[in-house]
C-alpha cells in the first residue's frame, strides 16, 4: 500500500518513514521545536534571497584591483605552457580574485 502511495504522490520512502515515525512518537507530523536561535527569515524570505542571488550573481563581488589583475595575468602567463602532467603534480596557489569579498548593500 505504501509503495503505491509513494509512487502516486512522488514522495521518497524515507520521507514517508520519517513522517510515520514522527507521528508515532509525537502524534503530529509537523516539525518539532529546535534548540538554538529562532530563524530570522521565513520560507518566503529564503526563496526571495535565493532568487535574488541567482539573478544578481555578481552583485556582491568587489571588483578586482589593478594589482590583483596584474598578479592573475602574470600567473596565467607563467603557467600557460604547462603540460597536463605538470598541472596535476604541481599545485601552486592560484591568486585569489580578491582576498576579502564585501557585500555592497
Count of all residues that appear for the chain in the document: 105
User: For residues 36, 40, 44 and 50, what is the CA-based torsion angle, rounded to 10 degrees?
Assistant: -90
- Residues contacting residue 3 through CB under 8 Å, at least 6 positions apart: 13
Quick one: which H or E segment has residue 104? none
Q: Which helix (H) or strand (E) holds 6?
A: helix 2-9
Q: How many CB atoms neighbour CB 79 within 10 A?
A: 13
Mean pLDDT across 28-36: 75
Give tens-digit pLDDT for 34-72.
Answer: 778 888 888 899 999 999 888 888 777 778 899 999 999
In the prediction, which pLDDT does 82 show?
85
Which of 1-10, 41-50, 67-76, 80-89 shows the lowest mean pLDDT across its residues? 1-10
Residue with cell 576579502: 100
What pLDDT score was predicted for residue 48? Answer: 92
Amino acid at each position: 500500500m505504501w509503495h503505491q502511495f509513494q509512487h502516486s504522490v512522488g514522495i521518497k520512502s524515507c520521507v514517508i518513514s520519517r513522517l510515520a515515525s514522527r507521528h508515532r512518537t509525537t502524534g503530529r507530523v509537523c516539525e518539532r521545536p529546535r534548540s538554538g536561535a529562532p530563524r530570522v527569515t521565513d520560507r518566503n524570505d529564503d526563496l526571495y534571497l535565493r532568487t535574488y542571488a541567482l539573478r544578481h550573481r555578481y552583485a556582491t563581488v568587489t571588483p578586482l584591483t589593478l594589482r590583483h589583475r596584474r598578479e592573475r595575468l602574470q600567473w596565467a602567463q607563467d603557467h600557460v605552457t604547462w603540460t597536463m602532467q605538470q598541472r596535476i603534480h604541481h599545485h601552486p596557489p592560484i591568486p585569489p580574485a580578491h582576498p576579502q569579498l564585501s557585500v555592497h548593500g
